[in-house]
């Protein structure tokens, strides 16, 4: 398993961080001084650099085009069948050794029967992402916008002139980061705060729900303490009204542990979602760069329970990509979900495994990678159930 870059003090990924000009200059100087070294440590095998090995190779581009054309004809307008064929074709391509012949893959032999993931809008969208649509900018920082109707469970949380992301667990509960509960003053009854179901907070259809209450994991004992294994970065928000959002499946600890190993070229990547900044480097972001739902695929991971990276708790994990395919969450993505893509023929589909917490960078720089809170531990599952959330874990 690749070793992530060392980290020092971490900074929550929140919107409109109250940094000064000196903090911004410090970030730029730090990036200039250490950026090359950090990127060098992030070097990875070809299969971790993007959706398929050797993304720029003409053979891969030709295979993708052939697969897309074949799936389009075979599916006859059925998006689930299209996704099933493309996903299986890409899985087959992942198993071809470097330098192998992709034309040897018999497309006619691919099953056209959709799995649950193929039928879900989010699964169909991520399959298109794997197909290579705008793959070189496949990142939340400056990356791919999520179209309306996809991943509606990924929501905006606003309050106290700040913005965070969140994941709707059911009609009236939203999971977000504990530092978002604090920064957005979500437990304060004197300010206005809302949860919004939308793909773009700046326009289009936005369904807003008033926040009626919020709490952080660990209660008063964790209210003012730094993040520790006993006080993970988790907060639970309740709303008035009833959101119409898809149901979620939580991964088990064993499935997340296996996903974090990433020992095989065919290991599924992690899928990030959030409404955060689209600019790498700076810890502060203009409002215009925050509020559009974006997604990314992260191909490098490490378990904080076994890594030596400083500042990382056993209840957390790390995600990043190398310099050839920069993928990262950013300011405003705090509280956004991490889904683990299913393995081939997995009947369950996408599983919820984590929540965006903070950056590698000591100044909150976006780009080098991030730290994510595990949602699979018995303590987290029990806390959610104790607070009225029905959790399906498999």
Domain presence at residue 331: yes
Domain presence at residue 82: yes
Is the same domain home to 382 and 252? Answer: yes
Domain presence at residue 394: no
Is the same domain home to 222 and 272? Answer: no
d(CA 96, CA 90): 10
Is the same domain home to 41 and 66? Answer: no
Domain presence at residue 117: yes
- What confidence score (pLDDT) does residue 51 get? 35
Domain that holds residue 68: 51-137
d(CA 138, CA 228): 32
Is the same domain home to 233 and 269? Answer: no
d(CA 349, CA 298): 17
Global pTM value: 0.70
- Coil, strand or helix: which one is 58? helix
Show which of 208, 239, 270 is a domain's final residue: 239
DSSP 8-state symbol, 323: G
Q: What does the block give as tokens for 276?
A: 């955060």
Show which of 137, 166, 196 is a domain's final residue: 137
- Coil, strand or helix: which one is 210? strand
Is the same domain home to 380 and 254? Answer: yes
DSSP 8-state symbol, 247: -
Backbone phi and psi for residue 149, each to the nearest 5 degrees, phi listed first: 90, -5
Is the same domain home to 266 and 368? Answer: yes
DSSP 8-state symbol, 183: H
Domain presence at residue 56: yes
- What confidence score (pLDDT) does residue 284 get? 65
Is the same domain home to 293 and 255? Answer: yes
217, 223, 228, 230: CA torsion to nearest 10: -50
Number of structural domains the chain divides into: 3
Q: Digits of tens for pLDDT over the chain (394 positions)? A: 333 322 222 345 443 332 222 222 223 222 222 222 222 222 222 222 333 333 334 577 788 889 989 998 999 888 889 989 998 998 888 888 877 888 899 999 999 999 887 887 767 777 876 776 543 333 366 468 888 888 999 999 999 988 999 999 999 999 999 999 998 999 998 899 999 999 999 887 899 999 999 999 999 898 877 788 899 999 999 999 899 988 899 999 999 999 998 877 678 889 999 998 877 766 567 777 789 999 888 888 999 988 767 678 999 999 987 666 677 888 889 999 999 987 777 777 889 999 999 887 766 678 878 899 999 999 999 999 999 999 999 9
Is the same domain home to 106 and 58? Answer: yes
Is the same domain home to 293 and 370? Answer: yes
Is the same domain home to 179 and 191? Answer: yes
Domain presence at residue 144: no
- What confidence score (pLDDT) does residue 362 get? 64
Is the same domain home to 162 and 227? Answer: yes
Domain presence at residue 3: no
Domain presence at residue 64: yes
CATH code of residue 340? 2.40.10.10
d(CA 31, CA 344): 39
Show which of 206, 239, 272 is a domain's final residue: 239
Backbone phi and psi for residue 25, each to the nearest 5 degrees, phi listed first: -65, -40
Is the same domain home to 306 and 374? Answer: yes
Give per-residue burial for 133-156: e unless 16+ CB within 10 Å, then b: eebeebbbbbbbebeeebbbbbbb
């Amino acid at each position: 398993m690749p070793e992530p870059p060392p980290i020092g003090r971490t900074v929550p990924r929140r919107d409109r961080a109250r940094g000064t000009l000196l903090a911004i200059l410090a970030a730029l100087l730090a990036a200039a001084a250490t950026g090359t070294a950090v990127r060098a440590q992030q070097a990875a095998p070809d299969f971790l650099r993007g959706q398929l090995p050797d993304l720029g190779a003409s053979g891969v581009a030709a295979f993708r085009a052939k697969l897309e054309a074949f799936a389009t004809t075979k599916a006859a307008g059925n998006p689930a069948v299209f996704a099933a064929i493309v996903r299986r074709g890409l899985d087959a391509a992942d198993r071809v050794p470097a330098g192998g012949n992709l034309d040897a893959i018999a497309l006619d032999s691919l099953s056209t029967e959709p799995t649950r993931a193929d039928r879900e809008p989010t699964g169909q969208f991520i399959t298109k992402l794997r197909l290579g649509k705008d793959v070189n900018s496949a990142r939340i920082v400056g990356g791919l916008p999520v179209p309306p109707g996809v991943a509606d469970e990924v929501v905006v949380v606003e309050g106290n002139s700040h913005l965070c992301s969140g994941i709707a667990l059911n009609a009236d509960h939203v999971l977000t980061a504990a530092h978002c509960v604090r920064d957005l003053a979500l437990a304060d009854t004197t300010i206005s705060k809302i949860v919004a179901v939308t793909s773009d907070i700046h326009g289009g259809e936005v369904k807003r729900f008033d926040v009626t209450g919020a709490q952080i994991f660990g209660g008063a004992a964790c209210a003012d303490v730094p993040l520790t294994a006993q006080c993970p970065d988790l907060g639970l928000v309740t709303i008035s009204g009833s959101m119409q959002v898809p149901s979620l499946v939580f991964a088990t600890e064993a499935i997340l542990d296996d996903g974090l190993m990433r020992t095989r070229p065919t290991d599924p990547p992690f899928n990030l979602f959030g409404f955060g900044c689209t600019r790498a480097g700076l810890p502060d972001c203009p409002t215009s760069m925050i509020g559009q739902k974006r997604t990314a695929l992260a191909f490098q991971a490490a378990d904080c329970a076994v890594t030596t990276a400083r500042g990382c708790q056993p209840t957390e994990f790390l995600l990043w990509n190398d310099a050839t395919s920069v993928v990262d969450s950013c300011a405003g993505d705090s509280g956004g979900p991490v889904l683990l893509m299913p393995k081939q023929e997995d009947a369950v589909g996408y599983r919820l495994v984590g929540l965006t917490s903070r950056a590698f960078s000591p100044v909150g720089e976006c780009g080098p990678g991030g730290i994510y809170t595990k949602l699979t531990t018995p303590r987290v599952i029990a806390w959610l159930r104790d607070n009225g959330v029905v959790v399906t874990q498999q």
